[in-house]
Amino acid sequence: MSPVARDALVVLGQQIRVARIERSWTVGELADRALSSPPTIRAIETGAPGTSIGTVFQVAFLVGVPLFNTESRAELARLRREGASTLALLPERVRHRDEQLDDRF
């Protein structure tokens, strides 16, 4: 995992933990609300990379951590539609290039 991705997981986990504590919820209470388990919530809050992204997003939503720089459900829906429109204009497949790409970060 790249250092940037690792840092992003840790930051999101910290934001989720702060929001949970500000709501005075225990790890168990958040786990119940998320239909998850306390170890999963602890993993999310520490930035462990093995948790499914759907579970992480659900937990973030429950505690009020904004995703994609928006707290509005309408704005998130607009971004989803915009993404779908953009993807509709792009080719469905990408052809292999002969040139080597440098993807080291």
Condensed to tens digits (0 to 9), the pLDDT of residues 10-60 reads: 999 999 999 999 999 999 999 999 999 999 999 999 999 999 999 999 999
> What's the CATH fold of domain 3-66?
434 Repressor (Amino-terminal Domain) (1.10.260)
Domain boundaries, the chain: 3-66
> The whole model's pTM is what?
0.80
Q: How confident is the model at residue 89 (pLDDT cuts 50, 70, 90)?
A: very high
**Segment 84-89 long-range contacts (CB within 8 Å, at least 24 positions apart):** none
Please list, in sequence order, all residues whose beta carbon lies within 8 angstroms of the beta carbon of residue 46, skipping any fewer than 6 positions away: 10, 13
